[in-house]
Amino acid sequence: MLRQLARLEGKVAIITGGASGLGKAAAQEFIREGATVIIADINSVAGLEAAQELGPKAQFFKCDVSDEQDVSNTVDHTVACHGRLDVMYNNAGIPGPLTESDISRLDLTEFDKVMSVNVRGTLAGIKHAARVMRQNGSGSILCTASISGLMGGLGTYPYSISKSTIIGIVKAAASELAQHGIRVNCISPFVIPTPLVTEQFSQIYYGAGAEAVSGIINSLGVLKGAKCETADVAQAAVFLASDDAKYVSGQNLVIDGGFSSFKHLNM
Ligand code: NAD
């Protein structure tokens, strides 16, 4: 039987927020497809644990994406250790406190915090990845947006605003960087019970545990017989990172089982 070739063989990737949830699942899938992955995360304990769990092709580098110097150092460290950077996955993100869902209680300091991680962090990631990718004349930059950036009522104000801004940034950067052979895309996932979401839902549903939160989230989905899992997003990221997507740029790949595309009874 023919063995399917690994789609990211020999590629070097940075995944921000790679210590947990969607980022960690992507790191696992990237490594399975042959990549070397730098897990860039603000949480050193979780980041080191994740790197150890994922084996010798994973490496942890501490990085707060809201600090441009940290992002620049992460990119330079990657190139110094591995000689190149093929994929930059700007995935780290925070939701902001739930009080930020009520415009009359909006605290603009909290707004700035969310924007500094989700938007500033993404911009810094694109800027510094492009700096080194331009020298190779190729590269794939991915960003994590959300269906909250496409629809109202699915997250706090800063979160929704930050995610729709990311979709705009991706289009602008794809347009500029195409001349250098660099593709830029984003992924907008449905709700998935990662630590970020489980913590927020347990506040909304008065202390509901992880299992109850998963049940609530699964009841929101519209695609019969399926639920959105971290692996669904990781597979999409592998596709966009790989040469299978060599003519795909400036796109927002929505992974929501159709939720944002049609009217349905759960709304
Ligand atoms: P998560 O909390 O499991 O993981 C987020 C990771 O980002 C953590 O490891 C955290 O330490 C890291 N991080 C936070 N701030 C950082 C910073 N300043 N610098 C570097 N790392 C930082 O959450 P997740 O659900 O896996 O979220 C990953 C991304 O997916 C986020 O951008 C989130 O907005 C987006 N997203 C999640 C869902 C979902 O339902 N889980 C849906 C749509 C989009």
Residue 32, domain CATH: 3.40.50.720
Indicate if 183 and 213 belong to the same structural domain.
Answer: no
Catalytic residue among 157, 159, 205, 247, which?
Answer: 159
- Is there a domain that residue 105 lies in? yes
61 belongs to a structural domain: yes
- Count up the domains in the chain and report the number: 2
Q: Is residue 34 part of a domain?
A: yes
157 catalytically annotated: no
User: Cα(21) to centroid of ligand 1, in Å?
Assistant: 7
The reply to whether 132 falls in a domain is yes
Which of 156, 163, 151, 160 has its CA nearest to residue 101? 156
Same domain? For 188 and 214 the reply is no
Task: State which ligand 1 atom lies nearest to the alpha carbon of 22.
Answer: 26
CA distances from 97 to 66, 108, 157, 257 (A): 18, 12, 10, 27
Instruction: Give residue 221 CA to ligand 1 midpoint distance, Å.
Output: 21
Q: Based on the domain organization, do 132 and 240 belong to the same domain? A: yes
Spatial contact of 89 and 170, defined as CB atoms under 8 Å apart: no
Q: Are residues 239 and 213 in the same domain?
A: no
Q: Is the CB of 19 under 6 A from ligand 1?
A: yes
Burial class, 10, CB count within 10 angstroms (exposed 0-12 / middle 13-18 / buried 19+) = exposed
Based on the fold, state whether residues 71 and 187 are members of the same structural domain. yes
Ligand 1 centre distance from Cα of residue 91 (Å):
6
| Structural domain for 156, as ranges | 12-192+228-254
**β-strand pairing of 58-62 with 252-255:** unpaired
Contact between 24 and 36 under an 8 Å Cβ cutoff? The reply is no
Tell whether ligand 1 has an atom less than 6 A from the beta carbon of residue 155.
no
Nearest Cα to 173, choosing from 110, 108, 125? 125
Which pLDDT score, from 0 to 100, does residue 81 have?
98
- Could you tell me if the CB of 43 is within 6 A of ligand 1? yes
ipTM of the complex: 0.99
Do 109 and 216 have their domain in common?
Answer: no
Q: Are residues 98 and 209 in the same domain?
A: no
- Is there a single domain that holds both residue 113 and residue 166? yes
Helix (H) or strand (E) holding 140: strand 139-144
Per the domain annotation, does 44 fall within a domain?
yes
Element spanning 231, H or E:
helix 230-241
Q: Evaluate if pTM is beyond 0.80.
A: yes
1: CA distance to ligand 1 center in Å? 39
Residues 188 and 204 in one domain: no
- Per-run averaged pLDDT (10 residues), the chain, 267 residues: 81 98 98 98 98 98 98 98 98 94 94 98 98 97 98 94 98 98 98 91 85 89 92 98 98 97 74
The residues with which 61 forms a beta bridge, in sequence order, are 40
